[in-house]
Amino acid sequence: MVSSSYLPGILLWPLAGAVVTALGRHRFSQRSLAAIGSGTVGLAFLHGVAAWLQLRSLDPGQVLVFPLWRWAAGGELAVTLGLWGDPLALWWALIVTGVGFLIHLYSAGYMAGDPSFGRYYAQLNYFVFAMSLLVLSDGLVGLILGWGNVGLASYLLIGFWHRRDAARRAATKAFLITQAGEVAMLLGLFWAAAAFGELHYPALFARLEGVPQGTLTAISLLLLVGAVAKSAQLPLHTWLPDAMQGPTPVSALIHAATMVTAGVFLVCRMWPLFSASGVALQVVAWVGGLTALFGAVVAGAQWDIKRVLAYSTMSQVGYMLLGAGVGAFAASAFHFFTHAFFKALLFLAAGVVIHRLDGEQDLRRMGGLRRSMPFTFASFLVGLGALAGLPPLAGFFSKDEILAATRQAGEPLLWALGVAAAALTAYYSFRLLALAFLGPEGPAVQATSSRRAGGEGPWTMLLPVGLLLVGAVAAGWLAIPGVTAVPAQVLEGTFRGQAFHPEGDSLTLTASLLAALVGMGVALARFRPSRPVPQVGPPGLAEAGFELDRLFRHLTVEPGLALARVVAWVDRRGVDGLVNGLAWLTGQAGERVRRLHRGQVRRSVVTLLGGAALLLVGSLWLLSSF
């Protein structure tokens, strides 16, 4: 363990940026706010790179640490906070700050002219700080602190346009669901504290031996509930599509590239616990596999361009959990890496489209954008190709590694799920491409084409898209089967030979490639340029997300409202009734007494003398009775 002064920089720069932009949001110009907001995240990224280089210069197996302070101590348990820079943490931190920087830059163009520009940057910086805290902390307590702060940042940013009713509802929904998961996580944390007596990662992992299998599984599953809620996995995913109410760069940063992968990070971080349980790892794999398929099916039926991408995110995070669930943690982290590039690319490019169409998000009203937006078209082509898993783009290699690991881990059923999801992924990817970019120009495109003044957007928007484009093409080359294996090598310091590294698998390669081509072919044939324009109709089962929202409504929201109504009635009639009744009695009594006080002297005298006479008679009667 080597102390590193670069680690706190990754956290502190975004935090400083958040404070400065929040306090100066009315004083600074939008230009300087954007510069401060983006610059601090850029500095955080540079600190991450420096920490990474420092880690590489050490012996393998060494980690960077930065102790902070002792937070609480009680009984046998002492909670100390600190930063922990092992390969996995830095891997995540680099992507969070790197992709985060590009999205901050992009936001300067996308949010230009918004009256709450400073608030936006403060919240975005705060998010980067919270996420860095989550990944860099050296124990479960720090992780949960980061986890909660990330949830708050997400809530603020989804509800950024808080005058929109839908945005407020979506923010509340996302917060409530992820908080419900957090409660389970907290229970897991308490149980872990009781079972292990340690919450600091290495100390906790050293005590896994000798703890009953059932306890390990229970703790893992409680942590998994939190991960499922945060990563929008079945069945707690319903907040993610609604979260697209936030500004598009927020969707890109939080709900595609970074925050939703926190669950994957948690499983990878706690891998010794999950591996020791075994059963928990199986559950992870099944949750991931089913979500991958479910998300892909629902994504293929959505008409809102951002909802397609949201369900696609859910499906891709499912792949990551599938990989982690079969023990291929490095493959999972690698898919997170490539996914961050191509999904951020897709969201930012979708933002360019939405920006160009004055906020139109319905695919049925788009079409023919290929001619007027060639650069965005190329971005989508690459991003969707990478998503669909076409070689040599990024998604191909990482998804293939996960599928190969699933097959070689002896899970043919999960493997089949994964391949089916791959086919559907290609289908919805190219469906989106065909609907938005091919064919004749749609009504929304025609309506806005006259006002378009050269270019597809400001440079601050196009530069990040271009950089992510390069990443989406090249990120996968880090792990070409049989040629390179960079993620497996660099993450060795965390997984210590325990992660499952699949061999090159020609069957999986062929199957997933075939699946992708079939999905693509079907999509392009169904949505060919001469197709009839799809009409707006009642949503089908898949478009409505299999009505899970309604199920949750009946299971949780309606009983909650009914209970609230009962409580409200008891409050109004019972509690308020008692208080109001007392007040009424006092009022009536006062009304009677009031008649004695008219302020007339002679009346007062009558009362006075009458009272004195009564007292006299009373005291005489008392005296005589003794």
Partner 1 sequence: MPLAAYLLVSLVLFVLGGLGLMIRRNPLVLLMCVELMWNGANLAFVALGRGLEAMSAHVFAFVVITVAAAEVAIGLAILVLVFRGKARQDVDEVNLLGERG
Q: Footprint of partner 1 on this chain (CB under 8 A)?
A: 594, 597-602, 605-606, 609
Distances (CA, A) of 394 to 467, 476, 524, 560: 14, 4, 22, 45
Q: What is the maximal distance between C-alpha atoms in the chain?
A: 119
Minimum CB separation of residue 612 from partner 1 in Å reads: 9
Nearer to partner 1, 601 or 622 (CB): 601
Nearer to partner 1, 601 or 623 (CB): 601
Minimum CB separation of residue 625 from partner 1 in Å reads: 24
Nearer to partner 1, 561 or 616 (CB): 616
Minimum CB separation of residue 594 from partner 1 in Å reads: 7
The closest of 231, 99, 245, 215 to 178, measured between CA atoms, is 231
Tokens of 469: 């484009």
Distances (CA, A) of 132 to 99, 118, 351, 495: 13, 21, 25, 20
Tokens of 205: 């992992």
Minimum CB separation of residue 160 from partner 1 in Å reads: 56
Nearer to partner 1, 578 or 606 (CB): 606
Alpha carbon distance 321, 326 (integer Å):
9
- Which SS3 state, helix, strand or coil, does residue 290 take? helix
Tokens of 383: 């991003």
Nearer to partner 1, 581 or 610 (CB): 610
Nearer to partner 1, 530 or 600 (CB): 600
Nearer to partner 1, 163 or 595 (CB): 595
Paired residues of 67 in beta bridges? 82
Alpha carbon distance 384, 307 (integer Å):
15
Nearer to partner 1, 76 or 591 (CB): 591
Alpha carbon distance 204, 271 (integer Å):
12
Nearer to partner 1, 413 or 589 (CB): 589
Minimum CB separation of residue 19 from partner 1 in Å reads: 59
- Which SS3 state, helix, strand or coil, does residue 78 take? strand
Strand order in the sheet with 2-3: 2-3, 64-74, 77-85
Are 375 and 456 spatial neighbours (Cβ–Cβ below 8 Å)? yes
Nearer to partner 1, 163 or 594 (CB): 594
Tokens of 78: 């002492």
Paired residues of 83 in beta bridges? 66, 137
- CB count in 10 Å sphere of residue 524: 16
Minimum CB separation of residue 602 from partner 1 in Å reads: 6
Helix (H) or strand (E) holding 406: helix 394-408
Nearer to partner 1, 539 or 610 (CB): 610
Minimum CB separation of residue 613 from partner 1 in Å reads: 9
Long-range CB pairs of 310-313 (<8 Å, 24+ gap) are 310/240, 310/241, 310/243, 310/244, 310/251, 310/255, 310/256, 311/240, 311/241, 311/428, 311/545, 312/343, 312/346, 312/387, 312/425, 312/428, 312/429, 313/232, 313/240, 313/255, 313/256, 313/260, 313/343
Nearer to partner 1, 26 or 595 (CB): 595
Nearer to partner 1, 26 or 598 (CB): 598
Minimum CB separation of residue 615 from partner 1 in Å reads: 14
Minimum CB separation of residue 610 from partner 1 in Å reads: 10
Residue 112, burial from CB neighbour count under 10 angstroms (0-12, 13-18, 19+): middle
Q: Side-chain half-sphere of 351: how many Cα atoms within 13 Å?
A: 30
Alpha carbon distance 247, 157 (integer Å):
8
Minimum CB separation of residue 598 from partner 1 in Å reads: 4
Are 362 and 439 spatial neighbours (Cβ–Cβ below 8 Å)? no
Minimum CB separation of residue 588 from partner 1 in Å reads: 17
b/e sequence 548-558, b meaning 16+ C-beta within 10 Å: bbeebeeeeee
The separation between CA 219 and the C-alpha centre of its own chain, rounded to angstroms, equals 22
Minimum CB separation of residue 592 from partner 1 in Å reads: 14
Minimum CB separation of residue 603 from partner 1 in Å reads: 9
Minimum CB separation of residue 589 from partner 1 in Å reads: 16
Nearer to partner 1, 166 or 616 (CB): 616
**Size of the chain, expressed as the number of residues it contains:** 626
Residues sharing a CB contact under 8 Å with residue 8, sequence separation 6 or more, in sequence order: 66, 83
Residues sharing a CB contact under 8 Å with residue 495, sequence separation 6 or more, in sequence order: 88, 271, 329, 330
Nearer to partner 1, 59 or 591 (CB): 591
Are 212 and 195 spatial neighbours (Cβ–Cβ below 8 Å)? no
Residue 42, burial from CB neighbour count under 10 angstroms (0-12, 13-18, 19+): buried
Minimum CB separation of residue 582 from partner 1 in Å reads: 23
Minimum CB separation of residue 609 from partner 1 in Å reads: 5
Nearer to partner 1, 568 or 609 (CB): 609
Query: What is the 8-class DSSP label of residue 134?
Result: H
Are 194 and 212 spatial neighbours (Cβ–Cβ below 8 Å)? no
Alpha carbon distance 379, 301 (integer Å):
23
